[in-house]
Amino acid sequence: MTRGGQLGVGLVVTAGIALLLTWFFVTYERKEQSFPMPRKGEAAYNPLFAVKVALEDADQRVHSRPHLFDKAQPLGRHDTVVLNGDPSRVRQIDATVLLDWVARGGHLVVEAPMESGLNKSGMALLARFGVRARTWDDEVDCLSIQAPPPKPANAKPVDDEHEYEDGDFCNARFTVAKSPAPIASWGDAHGLVFARFAHGEGSVDVIDSIYPLRTPLVERHSGFIRQLLAPNWNRGAFHIVYSTDMPAFWTLLLRNGWMALVPLALLLFGWLRMRAQRFGPLMPAAPEARRSLLEHVQASGEHLYRYGRAHLLHNALRTHVLARIRRRDPVAASLEGQAQIAAIAQRTGLPSTDVADALHSPRPLDARDFRHRIARLISLGRNA
């Protein structure tokens, strides 16, 4: 190609690249996308983690734990406890201690128990307040939250203009007895979603569901949460108990542990089966005398080979093979040298080089040559 042709091709390629770049930068649009990352640390197992962070940002003392009572973090007189889960799982003795603490000035926030979740202790924690277990009804419409619930007298002012979205409390309501009447309540014709009861110097708040306090919804329900936690605001610490309804360890083990225990049991059984002593040999053993003879022959051969007398083993096998050939072809066995090699090769159909390698003695102290010639002798004996 001439110089002018090369220049023309270069111009065409350059123009094509310039057009592609122009098209890319004209049509390219930069966009930002957000992808939710999996939760890590405490946020992965504490559904009320966002409430904890919000309280810390508001300069409140916060403790979160999976159990109701902790000696390292005892309940103070003006503290607040938020129980996550079904309160009917709280034991009778723990419920008594918790209510005595409320009577001394504590503030307790619990979820109304489901009727299907009641255990033997039943409504031990909420029985004296006349709270009946909430029932689930798909025909109950979601409560339209356009304003926060009524504030008790000692609640601090919050943002009353905050509007909540519809559907925060859906399909379930709880009811209370006429006495004692709650000091503040919120609900509709189907029942209540919030009720506050006075108990001694403290108070007990019952809400239809703890779900509005869960991590994804805290920002949307900030006004409701602020009023819910108002009684002891700036007076004591907040204790967030996020695993009140956790079953016993053995219950969890029986319910979920079989997926790991069954394979481990099978592996243990296989290992024990492999290591256990057998009740008998897999194949019948040879007669005692014959087995002793075979062991003696094997030991003699290993002894000769170890001390450099492999040629004796080769000579013994060669004598055995020639004796077998002599019984079938005396003429070939009586010959010597190259004539014998040619006759044996013609009879067995093996190459004369293989026959020669088989009949010649191996080189001293050459294990590879010894194995090679022994293999040729065995093959010669099979074809004789």
- Which of these, 316, 294, 318, 327, lies nearest to 381 by C-alpha position? 318
Cα(349)–Cα(292) distance, integer angstroms: 38
- For residue 210, the SS3 value is coil
378 sits in the region (left: phi over 0; alpha: psi -120 to 50; else beta) called: alpha
Q: What is the mean pLDDT of the chain?
A: 79
Sign for the CA dihedral angle at 201, 206, 212, 214 comes to: positive
Give the C-alpha distances (Å, rounded to integers) separating 33 from 9, 24, 29, 38, 40: 42, 20, 13, 16, 21
Token readout for 220 is 């949307």
Percentage of the chain beyond pLDDT 70 is 82
Alpha-helix residue ranges (DSSP H) falling in 135-235: 222-228
**φ/ψ of residue 196, rounded to 5:** -120, 125
Return d(Cα 324, Cα 97) in angstroms, integer: 101
Do 149 and 194 form a contact (C-beta atoms < 8 A)? yes
pTM of the model as a whole: 0.52
Residue 60, number of CB atoms within 10 A of its CB: 18
Mean per-residue pLDDT for 158-186? 65
pLDDT of the residue at 103: 92
Q: Torsion-angle region of residue 313: left (phi > 0), alpha (psi -120 to 50) or beta?
A: alpha
How much is the average pLDDT of 254-258? 82
- Condensed to tens digits (0 to 9), the pLDDT of residues 184-225 reads 888 777 778 888 999 999 999 998 887 778 766 677 777 778
- Give the pLDDT of residue 160: 39
Cα 241 from Cα 94, distance rounded (Å)? 14
- The gap from C-alpha 348 to its chain's centroid, in whole angstroms, comes to 66
d(CA 202, CA 105): 4
- Domains parsed from the chain with CATH numbers: 41-247 (3.40.50), 292-383 (no CATH)
pLDDT at 290: 59
With a CB cutoff of 8 Å and minimum separation 6, the contacts of 227 are 148, 149, 151, 155, 158
> Would you give the end-to-end CA distance of the chain in angstroms?
75
CA dist 198 and 3 (Å) reads 99
* Per-residue model confidence (pLDDT) at position 105: 92
**Confidence class of residue 17 from pLDDT cuts 50, 70 and 90?**
very high
- Which two tokens mark 293? 């003879």
* Sign of the torsion angle spanned by Cα atoms 313, 315, 318, 322: negative
The dihedral region occupied by 219, where left means phi > 0, alpha psi between -120 and 50, and beta the remainder, is alpha
Helices then strands, each counted (H, E), the chain: 12, 9
Q: Averaged over 56-63, what is the pLDDT? A: 91
Torsion, CA 30, CA 32, CA 35, CA 37, rounded to 10: 110
Of 131-135, 140-144, 297-301, which range is least confident? 140-144
Cβ(20)–Cβ(30) below 8 Å: no
pLDDT in tens, 317-360: 888 888 888 888 888 878 888 888 888 888 888 888 888 888 88
Burial class (CB in 10 A: 0-12, 13-18, 19+), 81: buried
